[in-house]
Structure 1
Amino acid sequence: MSEAKPKLEAVADEAPPQIKPLTFKLRKPVDAHGEKISEITFREPTGADIEAAGLPVNIDFAFDPPRIEFDARKMSAMMSMLAAVPPSTIRALAPKDWSTCAWGLASFFIPDLV
């Protein structure tokens, strides 16, 4: 007597959904490539970006709720790569603009735990 083999269903090769670039309007314009910019656009990061810049978000699960902190140097390097602007552009951001961009990018570096 032969055992029935489970039927395998074909799964369509679907590309993962593309995340739209994130664009932030700046409170204070900055120079990028010799031009004043009033908004900055970031592409989605990749594993290669994390290897190059380091993981810019630290999560401490010892706290309830977990504490999220930025490594400012790593986040600035990541911002520069993702926006394709020189590091000097990121360093020139107003603190509120830097923080807004960093929090906007943070979700890329926080694991899905559910």
Structure 2
Amino acid sequence: MVDVTPERDDKPAERKQRAMPPPEIEASPAEEGQPDEQLQDAWPMVVPLYNKPIRNNKGEMVKEVKLREPRAADINRYGNPCRYNGDGEPVIQERKMTYMIAALADILPPFIEDMDPRDWNTCAMKLQRFFLPDLRAW
């Protein structure tokens, strides 16, 4: 029988290094010292109601909801409408969020409850980050 295995050198084969430029890493907004433009909201926040208009306290039909900036006092009155679950996912507590939207829009809760669910979720998602901790602090 003939041995056909190739002979092995004791020294490893030299690989040619490919010349690669170093990666360019952009600075984060926190490192630049400039606030992220997306995080800067204009108040009142206007949320259009694309699916169904609702009544305001005067009985008029409105096609947009104007929300004032939330304050800690609103959380004391109506509760915090958002929290993180055990998996770190944000959760919206619907009843508290309905009362919070009503307070911020100055529209009675029964009128907010008449909103189309898609419009309600749009309002809730736009407000969600104001009721969750700022992760930059961790």
TM-score interval, normalised by the smaller of the two chains: 0.7 to 0.9
User: Percent same amino acid at aligned positions?
Assistant: 37
Off by >2 Å, runs of 4+ in structure 1: none
Deviations 1:26-59 (A, max 9, x none): 0211111210000001011111100000000011
SS of residue in 1 equivalent to 2:133: coil
C-alpha distance in 1 between matches for 2:62 and 2:41: 25
C-alpha distance in 2 between matches for 1:18 and 1:69: 22
Residue type matched to 1:75 in 2? Answer: M
Distance 1:18 1:37, change over 3 A: closer
Distance 1:103 1:18, change over 3 A: closer
- Partner of residue 92, structure 1: 114
C-alpha distance in 2 between matches for 1:48 and 1:100: 23
1:74 equivalent among 88, 96, 102: 96
Unaligned runs of 5+ in 2: 1-39
Shift of 1:67: 0.8
1:43 aligns with 2:68: yes
Higher relative contact order (CA 8 A, sep 6+): 1
1:54 aligns with 2:54: no
C-alpha distance in 2 between matches for 1:18 and 1:102: 15
Q: TM-score, normalised by structure 1?
A: 0.78
RMSD: 1.5
Shift of 1:19: 4.7
Deviations 1:60-96 (A, max 9, x none): 2x32xx2111111100000000000011111000000
Q: Which has the higher strand share?
A: 1
**In 1, are the aligned partners of 2:43 and 2:67 still within 8 Å (CA)?**
no
- Partner of residue 83, structure 1: 105
Which has the higher Rg, Structure 1 or Structure 2? 2
- Partner of residue 103, structure 1: 125
